[in-house]
Amino acid sequence: MKQLIRKILLLTILLSLTACIFDDEEEVEPWEAGKVCPAEGTNVYGMPNRGTFIDERDGEVYRYTTIGDQVWMAENLRYDAPYSTCSNDTSFIRQYCELIEHNCETMQCCKESLCHNFGRYYSIIEGGGEFGLIDRTLADTICPKGWHIPTKKEWKTLENAMKEPNEKKSDVATRLKDADSSFFFLSELYLNENGRTYAGTNNCALSVLPSGFMYESGKTEKFRASFLTSTQKNNDFVYTFIVQNYTDYISNYYRNSIRCVMDPVSPEL
């Protein structure tokens, strides 16, 4: 009888210890911007975590931000590369000035302001088309020196850094998007609730805006961000990373935005 009691007590202790171990494993630290992307301090490149740099090709000044070990442009690329264009969508430009830019008196002024804030739209497909293989020479030179178009893997690294293990993609999108709601007024023009996007919390100062993408007709959609990757999806398309009220990876459209990421300190061999 005593041996049975001892066995029961031993089993109870073992079960208690096992439960404690699993409880510890399940504990997840809450996501904190101060740990993932602190505003102060220096990054692995020896630079301030946040700041600005100049694209020597055209003198454009860009903000950047550090997230984990990655350094990202905090604005969409504006470099006048082959096959790139600012939006010429008259409706889009007019709506932008009516809802966001109130200091312009001409359409040209509105267009320039829109292009500055939302960036240019790019194709990295051979010949500037919508379908086909990536023009690697163009893709490798479209970003400023020391920067490059992110791969799908690099976008995933960013995405993973912006969430806790069990969080949804909507949480990631919220943290990535700019907190200035005025930029998201354009999405309120969409009657479909699922087609609208809303301002975020911009926790790491990446400042994603609903710059959208461009159809071959020149019409610009503005209910999401659509960023090119340098990863070929198949013989016809490349992957784009989209931020709406969620994040995802889809095929490219005719023209898309670009966010450059800094070249790694130690390139993979």
Q: What are the pLDDT digits (tens) for 101-114?
A: 999 999 999 999 99
Provide the CB-side half-sphere exposure for 131 (13 A, CA). Answer: 2
Judged against a pLDDT cut of 70, whether residue 10 lies above it is answered with no
**What number is the average pLDDT over the span 41-50?**
96
Judged against a pLDDT cut of 60, whether residue 7 lies above it is answered with no
Judged against a pLDDT cut of 50, whether residue 168 lies above it is answered with yes
**What number is the average pLDDT over the span 216-239?**
95
Number of other CB atoms surrounding residue 58 within 10 Å: 10
Answer whether 227's CB lies under 8 Å from 258's CB.
Answer: yes
**What number is the average pLDDT over the span 10-25?**
46
What pLDDT does 18 receive? Answer: 45
Judged against a pLDDT cut of 50, whether residue 93 lies above it is answered with yes
What pLDDT does 218 receive? Answer: 94
Min mean pLDDT across 8-17, 84-93, 123-132 is at 8-17
What pLDDT does 3 receive? Answer: 55
Residue 170: its H or E element? helix 169-176
What pLDDT does 19 receive? Answer: 46
Judged against a pLDDT cut of 50, whether residue 5 lies above it is answered with no
Number of other CB atoms surrounding residue 237 within 10 Å: 18
Distances in Å between the alpha carbon of 46 and those of 39, 54, 67? 14, 17, 14
What pLDDT does 175 receive? Answer: 98
What pLDDT does 253 receive? Answer: 95
84 vs 214: CA distance, rounded Å: 11
Judged against a pLDDT cut of 60, whether residue 145 lies above it is answered with yes
Phi and psi angles of residue 213, each rounded to the nearest 5 degrees, phi first: -145, 170
DSSP 66-131: EETTEEEESS------TT-B----HHHHHHHHHHT--S--SHHHHHHHHHHHH--BB--BGGG-SS
**What number is the average pLDDT over the span 69-98?**
96
Answer whether 186's CB lies under 8 Å from 117's CB.
Answer: no
Percent of the chain's residues with pLDDT above 70: 88
What pLDDT does 195 receive? Answer: 79
> Coil, strand, or helix at residue 31?
coil
Q: What is the CA radius of gyration of the chain?
A: 23
- In terms of Cβ atoms closer than 10 Å to its own Cβ (0-12, 13-18, 19+), residue 169 is middle
How does residue 188 score in pLDDT terms, banded at 50, 70 and 90?
confident
What pLDDT does 61 receive? Answer: 98
